[in-house]
Chain A
Amino acid sequence: MKPTGIITSAVLVGVASAALAHSGATGIVKERMDAMSAMGKAVKQVAPMMSGETAYDADTVRHAAETIGMHAGDAMTRLFPDGSAGMPSVAKDAIWNDWESFAGLAEELHRYAEGLALAADNAPASQSDTMSNTSVMMGGSDMMGANSMMGSGDMMADDTMGREELAEMPANAVFAKVSDTCSSCHTRFRAKVK
């Protein structure tokens, strides 16, 4: 190769890698960011229904649940292969250091999303402020269990409710499990928000 050729290649490689670095996420990192965004969009649609801000619509909830379910479980974990950390990804190394927990949460999300799709027809439980007492009781029992302030440390309640049980619950209660799972996972495994 002539010297000019070498220089041209070097310049081209330089330009190409600069472009790559500046184009943000690519490949599998982009793929999982898109999947997260799709779930976020679904959550954005139904959250106001669950909080009572907008009218409840069972079809929208079912669709949103299916979208979340589609991106959860194995569909999620396969987007986190070894060595895919680092900028621009906000995935923490903890994902690969504690793969079992990460995969467990992904699977839990899948189960809850399926449950939510089945529970979509169950109107949300009362949203009025009179709910607060019930809510205190629920919080209370979680905190103290029968015998102590905190039970035996199982306050994260890694309950193993099956789809059938979830299907019987009010939709907002199942959605709360979905969002709790998102929150647990982001808290442990996502480096930072923006």
Chain B
Amino acid sequence: MRRVLAGVAVLALSGTAAIAALVVWPIGRPPAEIELTGDVQRGAYLARASGCIACHTNFEDGGAPLAGGAPLETPFGVFYPPNITTDPEHGIGDWSLSDFAMTVRQGVSPDGEPFFPAFTYPFYADFSDQDVADMWAAFQTVAPVTNPAPPHDVGFPFNQRWGLKLWRALFMHDPQTEPVEGKSVDWNRGRQLVRGAAHCGACHTGRNLAGGRMPDAVFAGNDDLPGGNKAPSILSDDLADRGWTVANLSYALQSGVTPSGDVFGGSMGEVVQNGTRFLSKSDSKAMAIYLLDSDVPERRALAGTPSIGKTID
């Protein structure tokens, strides 16, 4: 009995030690100082494409731009996209460009805490210094809003931020946005947008029980989105089977109109309304070119079952 008790004590101690280690485990790499001058218009375009405005603005309730978005109901709790206006107290008005860079590309807050992956930072990891400087310049033009967004309503254990460090170690991976040799300029631009800024995989890739995107379910669809929404497969073959072409898919990203004459509603409606319809014609065409000829692994028999491993989009 004494041995058992001792064993329990050792386990408890080592468990506590492990958690303590996680709590103090520093994450993120402080970026080199960015000294580039940002271009407001380019930054605003990228912010649109990346969904900053769509997610952090509560359009339905007539909320001010970037003052905090509609709640996102997930199995882990309810997330409230924060106020990211220039208000120094309730927004990001007192941030530096480095804070912003660290947040967008690495998902680490100015005080060193990991953000919840409800914020789609894993897709933005390859943004260049110029991209970040452009976005930062654009954010400076946003009017401050002096109301805070509600705090996240996330229960134990998901409210323990140190847990996210484990999550990062298991499920965070660079997006695959670098140019691929031998592919066209349009295809590569499409890949950069689809796998990066536009973060299509956030909804269209299946997730495991821990909310990590599954490498064998890239673009294979997700029936279990926040708020009961579903995202269909956007694997190239499946898109082609459903009647999508480069022409009608790029037009759908601009207009919401599908080949059947229907018009997107639900979450894809929001994506088009607040995001992709602001893309240039050549960018939406590039996305369609890539999506209909994408370089994702074949769907495996395992797709749909939880698996642990690095995500790859």
Residue positions of A touching B, CB distance < 8 A? 39-45, 47-48, 50-53, 129, 131-133, 135-136, 139-140, 142-144, 147-150, 152-153, 155-156, 176, 179-180, 182-193
Q: A132-B280, A150-B142 are in contact. List 16 more A-B contacts (CB 8 A).
A: A44-B259, A51-B254, A53-B248, A132-B281, A136-B45, A140-B44, A142-B278, A144-B44, A149-B141, A179-B255, A180-B273, A183-B256, A186-B264, A187-B264, A187-B266, A189-B265
Q: Are A44 and B282 in contact (CB under 8 A)?
A: no
- Given contacts A179-B257, A183-B264, A187-B264, whether A139 and B48 have CB atoms under 8 Å apart is yes
Least CB distance from B7 to A in Å reads 52
Can you offer 7 A-B residue contacts whose CB atoms are under 8 A?
A: A43-B257, A51-B250, A139-B45, A149-B47, A150-B66, A152-B143, A192-B265
Q: Which residues of A contact B273 (CB under 8 A)?
A: 180, 183-184, 187
- Once the chains are docked, how many angstroms separate the CA of A53 from the CA of B230? 29
Report A-chain residues with C-beta under 8 Å of the C-beta of B280. Answer: 132-133, 135-136, 139
Q: In whole angstroms, how far apart are the Cα atoms of A52 and B230 in the complex?
A: 30
Counting chain B CB atoms within 10 Å of each CB, which of A53, A152, A155, A189 scores highest? A155
Chain B residues contacting A148 (CB-CB under 8 Å) are 65, 141-143
Could you tell me the distance in whole angstroms from the C-beta of A145 to the nearest C-beta in chain B? Answer: 9
Q: Which residues of B contact A189 (CB under 8 A)?
A: 265
Q: Are B263 and A51 in contact (CB under 8 A)?
A: no
* Contact in complex: B255, A180 (CB < 8 Å): yes
Report how far A136 CA is from B203 CA in the complex, Å.
26
Contact at B141–A182, with CB atoms within 8 Å?
Answer: no
- Across-interface contacts of B247 in A (CB, < 8 A): 48, 51-53
Checking B53, B60, B62, B265 against A190 with a beta-carbon cut-off of 8 angstroms, the contacting residue is B265
User: In the complex, which residues of chain A have a beta carbon less than 8 angstroms from the beta carbon of B251?
Assistant: 47, 50-51, 53
- By a CB distance below 8 angstroms, the chain A residues around B261 are 39-45, 47
A185 cross-chain contacts in B, Cβ below 8 A? 265
CA distance A144 to B263 in the complex (A): 26
- Nearest Cβ on chain B to A95's Cβ, whole angstroms: 12
Please name all residues of chain B whose beta carbon is closer than 8 Å to the beta carbon of A176 when the two chains form the complex: 254-255
Which B226-241 residues have a C-beta within 8 angstroms of A?
A: 228-230
Q: Are A47 and B266 in contact (CB under 8 A)?
A: no
Q: Quote the shortest CB–CB distance from B123 to chain A (angstroms).
A: 20
- B64 close to A (CB within 8 Å): yes
Whether A149 pairs with B270 at a CB distance below 8 angstroms is no
